[in-house]
Structure 1
Amino acid sequence: MIGRPPPEFFDKAERWQIAPAETLYYPPALALPGQVDRIRAAVFASLPDTIEALTRQGDSHEGPTTGFRLRAVDLVDGVLYHGGGEHHLRNRQRRFGLTPRPAREVSGALYETWTTNRWFGSWLMEACVAHDLAAAHGDPVTTAAPPSQGGHQDRYEALAGMAPRRIDGDAHFTELVMFDDYASNSHKAARADALRRRLLQGRSPQAVPGVFLLRGHAGDPRLLVNERDLAEDLARHRGFVVIDPLDATVDQLIDACGAARAIVGVEGSQLVHGITVAPPGAAIIPIQPPERVAATLKHQSDRLGQRFGLLVAEGSDSRFRLERDDLMATLDLFE
């Protein structure tokens, strides 16, 4: 009310370093000439930072992994409150925020974020990896609703050995452990590799030249208008397997992608099925809309020792087209 900034949520938290900052080497993304020039807008980071992440080569600084222990934290309508600060886990559903302090008392280690609650791909690449942190530093808890029985998330949790306590509704945390797990340091890379090994345990996936994971009209509007034509060309001329993840089980996706030499498709959550289990050295080639370019999948493929291809379509953020020759020539860069 008097114009001072609100307290920072983690100001009064006990904190400790789980993994140190370090310098890691990253190979360059492979790209045809002119791909960066097609990029007009980015999501999740500024345009310069996104381009830097997509094109970085050589040594790069990665920050530490940090743990936080907080006491007397209120969870109300998807928002955590502590010491005058707030931390959002999802959008509020209620119009007014005033409410009595929750009477239910709980404690645990929280491994979710706003983005992992918003996008399935973020949940699979980030929350499933952070779950190992929660299990190592407390009892894993999540505010996310139980997944649909037999659905993708349900099956991934079973294969990954995730059995968190689910906090339904408002609650008062007598003690809450949280994490800053954004840096792609070697500790996070090891956890991502451990998840891959758990998902592949007991399987012998067949090596294939590549898998094209269709996006179609699912999720946020992001339509590659000639997606089917490109997928059929890859199947006919390059021996690719074409899969619509909405029509496939998790086990079918893992078996198809677990030994694939390339994962291709529109940038988005459906590609995370493939990247999460594809082998080191596999080519990861998201087809990026020019007005919605993201580097999140580059960070994941770097952690898993895969090779990344920068391929930008032409059009807008929601409707775009990629020429066949650009896709085929980009794949040839990995030969």
Structure 2
Amino acid sequence: MFQKTSTMPMTTRPIRSTWQHRLAFERIRFRLARRFGLDVNLLNAAASVEELHPTEKIAGAPCIALPGQFERISKGGFDIDIAEEIAQLKGGPREIGPTVRYVLDNVLVSHGIIHARGRRKLFNSTIDLGSVQSPWAEYDEAGLRSSYVGCYFFGHWLADDCTTHLLAQQSGTPMSMPTPPWPNCAGYLGLFGQSYIELGRAHVRRLVLYDDIAHNEHKASRFRALRARVGSNNESRAAGRIVYLMRGRLGGAQPVGTDAYRSSFGRTIHNEAEIVEALMRQGVTIVCAETLTVPQLIAELLGARIVIGLEGSQLSHGLFTLHDKGGMLAIQPPDRLYNGYMDAMNVLGMRYGIVVGEQRQSGFHLPLGDLLRTIDLMDTKLC
């Protein structure tokens, strides 16, 4: 459902080698500006900035967790403040960022970076685009659906970039920075009725992009629109079920998503086989997203009462398939606390819970009793 710029005749103009020379000049300007301590953030030089939804401070529903879980946490992911994160998990005030629309004039896009006036905006410069350079294209106007994290992690591509798409399409055919070839992308684009042009190298006279990461009410309205598309005319075998989503290997980008990179996260559940066997005895449905097509995956998840899984990209499937009053239970490594789905669950009126493992070398052990008791606790809260 996406197309390379070289195959899209709609707004492209003849190739101009001058853009390659200008790109080299922009890179020199950027390096000099950075050396002299000048502002190199391209968004600070936007032609216009419009706040579509303001920053808010909320006190959401407390996270569902057994006593003693927070004490196991030794470290947070992505340099988060553990004490602040735990306070917010307990229901303390939490700042939800704004949704902002930026317009950039006369920019160059190359290899996941936007360049102009000695400044830049980085998306994904590490992705392997192959040895063949895409030809230069020109666009009068483009709406960008991409986020920085959506270029690296499938979960953010699905939860963030696909919702931002509904904003980007207001500027014509949405465009995307290059992303890894995650296997479920095409299926979800078809399900959502979305398509886009992938930007390789281009000159854009007017580029519209968004800061749309925060899960505020503005974004929630677009989430609900996509959830409605998923729920319409799709077969469901999961209504009222509890589902355990097994983690696959392809949630991150390449080369960031290599096995070596992923193992550094320490997200290996040493006793997962024991957990899966016990959950099956309890009547929990076990689903491995990477082995299913998107229609098959939706059928297994749509209308589920609770979705359980290791914190990571695979839980994003639950955001679009859980029952309107459902719950998500995230299994957390003790040395990598991260609650990327808590704000989305809160703003959508759903419940969020965690169960924390016990540290082991190269991973962690999840006490089965803790998991089963937390499932029971969440089930009670949902009644």
Settle same-fold status: TM greater than 0.5: yes
- What amino acid sits opposite 1:163 in the alignment? S
- Residue aligning to 1:97: none
| Deviation readout 1:106-132 (Å, 9 max, x if unpaired) | 230111122101111111111111111
Match of 1:333 in 2: 377
Q: Which residue of structure 1 lines up, in the alignment, with residue 271 of structure 2? A: 226
Instruction: Work out whether 1:180 is the aligned partner of 2:211.
Output: yes
Code of the residue aligned with 1:215 in structure 2: it is R
Q: Give the match for residue 100 of structure 2.
A: 66
Aligned equivalents of 2:188, 2:103: Cα separation in 1: 28
Q: Per the alignment, do residues 7 and 225 of structure 1 end up closer, same or farther by CA in structure 2, a change over 3 Å counting?
A: same
CA contact (8 A) 2:345 2:352 kept: yes
- Matches of 2:202 and 2:189, distance apart in 1: 24
2: distance between equivalents of 1:189 and 1:45? 26
Q: Distance between the aligned counterparts of 2:233 and 2:319, measured in 1? A: 19
Find out whether 1:236 has 2:281 as its counterpart.
yes
Pick one of 74, 87, 90 that aligns with 1:55. Answer: 90
AA aligned opposite 1:228: A
- SS at 2:330 equivalent: strand
Match of 1:247 in 2: 291
1:202 corresponds to: 233
Residue in 2 that maps onto 1:41: 75
- Counterpart among 221, 227, 238 of residue 190 in structure 1: 221
| Residue 144 of structure 2, aligned match among 84, 90, 110 | 110
The match for 2:302 among 254, 258, 261 is 258
After superposition, the Cα gap between the structure-2 partners of 1:187 and 1:45, relative to the gap in structure 1 and judged at 3 Å, is: farther
Paired position in structure 2 for 1:213: 245
Aligned pairs (5 A) from 1:150-189: 151-167=183-199, 169-189=200-220
Return the alpha-carbon distance in structure 1 between the equivalents of residues 245 and 88 of structure 2. Answer: 24
Mapped contact 2:248–2:289 kept (Cα < 8 A): no
Matched, 1:144 2:178: yes
Q: Deviations over 1:124-181 (max 9, x none)?
A: 1111111111113443111225957xx41101001101111222x2211111001111
Q: How do residues 280-319 of structure 1 correspond to structure 2 at under 5 angstroms?
A: 280-315=324-359, 318-319=362-363
Question: Which structure's CA Rg is the greater one?
Answer: 2
Give the paired residue count.
323
**SS in structure 2 of the partner of residue 224 of structure 1:** coil
Q: Structure 1: 5+ residue runs without aligned partners?
A: 95-101
> Structure 1 runs of 4+ off > 6 angstroms?
none
Q: SS at the partner of 2:194?
A: coil
**Contact preservation (8 Å) 1:23, 1:62:** yes
User: SS in structure 1 opposite 2:100?
Assistant: strand
**2:7 paired residue number:** none
Structure 1's 87 and 39: CA in aligned 2 closer, same or farther, altered over 3 A? same
1:317 & 1:65 partners in 2: Cα distance? Answer: 41
Alpha carbons 1:210, 1:262 under 8 Å: kept: yes
For normalisation by structure 1, the TM-score amounts to 0.88
Equivalent pair of 2:40/2:118 in contact (CA under 8 Å): yes
Partners of 1:20 and 1:176 lie apart in 2 by: 22
* Farther-moved stretch of structure 1 (117-126 vs 9-18): 9-18
Q: Distance in 1 between matches of 2:190 and 2:249?
A: 28
Distance 1:215 1:190 in 2: 28
Q: Once the two structures are aligned, what percentage of the paired residues are identical?
A: 32
Query: Which structure dedicates a bigger proportion of its chain to helix?
Result: 2
Shift in alpha-carbon separation, 1:304–1:44, aligned structure 2, 3 A: farther
Which amino acid is the alignment partner of residue 38 of structure 2? P
Is the contact between residue 244 and residue 286 of structure 2 (CA under 8 Å) also seen in structure 1?
A: yes
CA contact (8 A) 2:304 2:321 kept: no
Q: Which amino acid aligns with 2:211?
A: D
Unaligned runs of at least 5 residues, structure 2 = 1-31, 129-134, 252-261
State the alpha-carbon separation in 2 of the partners of residues 320 and 137 from structure 1: 46
| 2:62 matches 1:28 | yes
**Is contact 2:112-2:178 (8 Å) kept?**
no
**Higher mean C-alpha displacement, 129-138 vs 217-226:** 217-226
Deviation at 1:316, TM superposition (A): 5.3
State the secondary structure of the residue aligned to 2:125: coil
**Alignment-derived partner of residue 11 in structure 1:** 44
